Amino acid sequence: MGTSSSSNRRNQNPSYYQNPHHHQPLPSQQLASYSDPYPAPTPFAYSPHPPPPIYNSYNPGRPNLVPHYGPYHNHGGWAGIRPPPVSVPQPPPPPYVDHQQAKKVRNDVNVHKGTLRLEVDEYNPDHHLVSFVFDAMIDGSFTIFYFAKEESNCRFFPLYPEVCEPFKFPFQKGVGQKFSQPSGTGIDLGFFELDDLSKPSAKEDVFPLVISAETCLPSVPTKGSLDDPSPSSSPHMQITQAVIQKNDQTGFQVKVFKQILWIDGIRYELREIFGIENSAAESFKDDDPGK
């Protein structure tokens, strides 16, 4: 009896193979016991590919691509908000550069600034004299200033005329000539402070040493002096502005700061181009059309 009863119970409750990957759905009563006052959110819908780019309506000819910010989601009926498109600022335009072409002008006289020297006057040891090499296509004159200020029309005036009066010396045309200031016309540099001799003024309108080389074509041949050449046009000038430095071994040395040309009422500042200064004497001839 007991055996048959046990057998009957086994037949009434058969054992089945349970699939380990299969999950039985929960009864509706169990789901109801965990109900939430808010509706269940709609499952996320993931797009397998990003949505196509959006084009601006105001420029259909050249669409602007909007960057992609990930898949578009709809959470509980609320549409996702895309960030606004990022506008890339245009690069600023390149700065304007004014290219000025160098002008070729005729220079009738040229002082070789690398040859400018201050030499002791053998008859007046306390004074110094100026010397240099120059080329001239036309006769003219040199005027030597100390502590001279530039005025209008490229004219210079000494600040201390009672101490260092400017001297004017005539010259004739020729190439590779050496100018030496005559004895007795030099200057006593001990009168000035070394700091004042070694630099120009703050505005660079006063220089310790200024050499003005002036030429002017006469309208007709005259026998007059260079002081009255009866010019046919405004004079041409080359101005050399320099400072004076003290060297314990060699004494005073001249350092050229700049050179200026005054041609037909126009002021030019000379620039060295590809070592033209070294070959100036070779190309400076009487029939040269000018530089």
In a domain, 90, yes or no: no
Q: What is the mean pLDDT of residues 161-189?
A: 93
Confidence of residue 77 (pLDDT cuts 50, 70, 90): low
In a domain, 207, yes or no: yes
Kind of pairing between the strands at 124-136 and 140-150: unpaired
pLDDT above 60 for 289: no
In a domain, 48, yes or no: no
Please give the tally of structural domains in the chain. Answer: 1
Q: What is the mean pLDDT of residues 107-122?
A: 94
In a domain, 149, yes or no: yes
In a domain, 29, yes or no: no
In a domain, 74, yes or no: no
pLDDT tens digit sequence for 248-288: 877 899 999 999 999 988 999 886 554 444 444 444 444 44
Structure-model confidence comparison of residues 58 and 101, the more confident one: 101
- pLDDT at residue number 201: 87
Q: What is the mean pLDDT of residues 203-228?
A: 73
In a domain, 206, yes or no: yes
Domain that holds residue 176: 109-283
In a domain, 92, yes or no: no
pLDDT above 50 for 224: no
- pLDDT at residue number 112: 96
